[in-house]
Amino acid sequence: MGLPSLVKLWNIFKFQLNEFQPNNTTIIQSVEPQLKEIFNERIQVVQNCRNTTDDCINSLNKIVDHQTTAQLSSEQINDLRNQLINLREELCQLL
């Protein structure tokens, strides 16, 4: 479940809680800062992973540029690159 889905669920929860307990925001006020912190931490972790994945892809591209000295075959390099690209797409879906 991506972050937008979690935020949407949280907003639905707040709305429903307010419907059943009008003017009682104590629960929301006590929990919301913690959830925001969790969301922010999750975003940071995903962005860090995405940046690392991008660095790996760039490194693979440099290996391809110097293929004569590479210890990996073109097929291995392309396979690694495709795996990293797929991982990056999955990380982007988490945001």
Q: Say what percent of the chain tops pLDDT 70.
A: 63
**Inter-residue contact 83 to 76 (CB < 8 Å):** no
Count of structural domains within the chain: 1
| Structure confidence by residue, pLDDT tens digits, 62-92 | 776 666 655 667 788 788 888 888 888 888 7
User: Mean per-residue pLDDT for 20-49?
Assistant: 73
- Domain carrying residue 80: 3-94
Across 21-30, 44-53, 54-63, least confident range = 21-30
d(CA 35, CA 45): 15
DSSP line for 19-52: HHSTT--HHHHHHHHHHHHHHHHHHHHHHHHHHH
**pTM metric for this prediction:** 0.52
